[in-house]
């Protein structure tokens, strides 16, 4: 087991900058998730760590070894691929044993480790089968098993759940997490799915266009997004944004737009306030208007759509052409497109961002 350090790592493919000055420290035994949309550089970072691509600049360490020029086999890592990459002509047993065999591990040691991994994963009865005779979920387990038997210093996982159906995915999510915390191996996990990131990661690193936008534990990243991108990417349904004029008044801040006025107490931690800000609101902090529950508002708007999820309902509301909000409502809330509604926002839960840099200013 080991720490992992990306030190100012840059990777170019021709003219394309895939990863830009990426620096990240991963603790020993930590489960870290790299999350971002496609093209964000998360997979590139993982492949650089695996040694499947060469660095353009910077350096990577596993433990205290600089691995920049080491072949993948010398890095003491194991990787789970998105398509599992099981060797089709080998049985499950041979698939699990292959990496150990290549390392000239004694036969009985291989056997012991393979059976142990099979037991952990509950695939003991599949050992004689070929991958083609397995279900998607079983293949996924074999791929995990191939990583586990190696007992490497770091697990690398590249979207290992994206080929499973939704139900199996949720189940496997918690299982991977359980196994990882049992074995305690440092894990770098790549996904585009922010739910996976939130539920699995000890910390998550949000990436966008080759840049690390923010890294932190899930709670922090959710509650204190560093910028508009992170705020919009983490959370489902996504945060709504609208531009508003901001005026610092006597102990309060006033947000104005199209005649609407929100007046909120000014917290101490807000150092400066530009004339215009981007205001971000998470759906759970926007609710249908009721007096006396402490919401600020009301804001008037027109219903664009109603999304009933059973346990709750989300209403898409356009307060102005470029000021749309998603409003959280009770499951039995009724509403129809084109209806007028009024809603309010929860004070202290409005995220303010600087319009030019899109950096977070604070919450009001």
Per CB under 8 A, contacts with another protein among 145-174 are 146, 150
Q: Binders of another protein: how many residues, by CB under 8 A?
A: 37
Name the residue nearer to another protein (CB basis): 208 or 313.
208
Name the residue nearer to another protein (CB basis): 85 or 170.
85
Binding status of residue 12 toward another protein by CB under 8 A: yes
Measured torsion, CA atoms of residues 47, 49, 52, 55, in degrees rounded to the nearest 10 = 100
CB 21 within 8 A of CB 41: no
CB 19 within 8 A of CB 60: no
| Site track 100-139 with another protein (rule: CB under 8 A), x = hit | --xx------------------------------------
CB 50 within 8 A of CB 126: no
Binding status of residue 57 toward another protein by CB under 8 A: yes
Binding status of residue 142 toward another protein by CB under 8 A: no
The long-range contacts involving 301-306, CB below 8 angstroms and separated by at least 24 positions, are 301/325, 301/340, 301/341, 301/342, 301/343, 302/338, 302/339, 302/340, 302/341, 303/335, 303/336, 303/337, 303/338, 303/339, 303/340, 303/341, 304/337, 305/337, 306/335, 306/336, 306/337
CB 266 within 8 A of CB 364: yes
Indicate which single residue of 1, 39, 63, 81 sits in contact with another protein (rule: CB under 8 A). Answer: 81
Binding status of residue 88 toward another protein by CB under 8 A: yes
Name the residue nearer to another protein (CB basis): 104 or 249.
104
Residue 66 main-chain phi, psi, to 5 deg: -80, 125
Q: How far is the CB of 115 from another protein (least distance, A)?
A: 19
Q: How far is the CB of 23 from another protein (least distance, A)?
A: 14
Q: How far is the CB of 195 from another protein (least distance, A)?
A: 24
Binding status of residue 20 toward another protein by CB under 8 A: yes
d(CA 206, CA 116): 35
Binding status of residue 3 toward another protein by CB under 8 A: no
d(CA 241, CA 164): 33
Which residue do the tokens 């890592």 mark? 77
Binding status of residue 318 toward another protein by CB under 8 A: no
Task: By CB under 8 A, name the binding residues for another protein.
Answer: 10, 12, 17, 20-21, 50-57, 67-74, 77-79, 81-83, 85, 87-89, 98-99, 102-103, 146, 150
């Amino acid at each position: 087991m080991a720490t992992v350090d990306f030190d100012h790592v840059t990777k170019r493919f021709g003219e394309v900058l895939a990863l830009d000055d990426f620096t990240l420290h991963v603790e020993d035994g930590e489960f870290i998730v790299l999350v971002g949309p496609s093209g964000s550089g998360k997979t590139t970072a993982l492949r650089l760590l695996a040694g499947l691509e060469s660095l353009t600049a910077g350096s990577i360490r596993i433990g205290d070894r600089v691995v920049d020029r080491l072949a993948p086999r010398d890095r003491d890592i194991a990787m789970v691929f998105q398509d599992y990459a099981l060797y089709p002509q080998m049985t499950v047993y041979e698939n699990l044993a292959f990496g150990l065999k290549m390392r000239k591990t004694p036969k009985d040691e291989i056997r012991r480790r393979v059976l142990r991994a099979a037991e952990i994963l509950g695939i003991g009865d599949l050992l004689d089968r070929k991958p083609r005779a397995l279900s998607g979920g079983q293949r996924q387990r074999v791929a995990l098993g191939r990583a586990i038997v190696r007992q490497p210093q770091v697990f690398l996982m590249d979207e290992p759940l994206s080929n499973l159906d939704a139900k199996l995915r949720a189940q496997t999510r918690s299982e991977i997490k359980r196994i990882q915390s049992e074995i305690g191996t440092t894990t770098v996990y790549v996904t585009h799915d922010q739910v996976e990131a939130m539920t699995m990661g000890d910390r998550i690193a949000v990436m966008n266009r080759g840049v690390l936008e923010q890294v932190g534990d899930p709670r922090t990243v959710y509650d204190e997004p560093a910028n508009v991108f992170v705020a919009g990417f983490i959370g489902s349904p996504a945060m709504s944004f609208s531009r508003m004029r901001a005026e610092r008044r006597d102990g309060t801040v006033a947000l104005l737009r199209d005649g609407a006025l929100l007046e909120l107490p000014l917290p101490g931690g807000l150092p400066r306030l530009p004339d215009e800000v981007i205001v971000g609101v998470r759906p759970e902090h926007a609710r249908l208007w009721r007096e006396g529950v402490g919401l600020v508002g009301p804001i008037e708007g027109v219903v664009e759509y109603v999304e009933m999820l059973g346990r709750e309902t989300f209403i898409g509301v356009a307060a102005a052409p470029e000021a749309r909000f998603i409003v959280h409502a009770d499951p039995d809330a009724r509403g129809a497109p084109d209806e007028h509604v009024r809603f309010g926002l929860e004070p202290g839960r409005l995220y303010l961002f600087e319009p030019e840099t899109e950096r977070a200013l604070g919450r009001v």
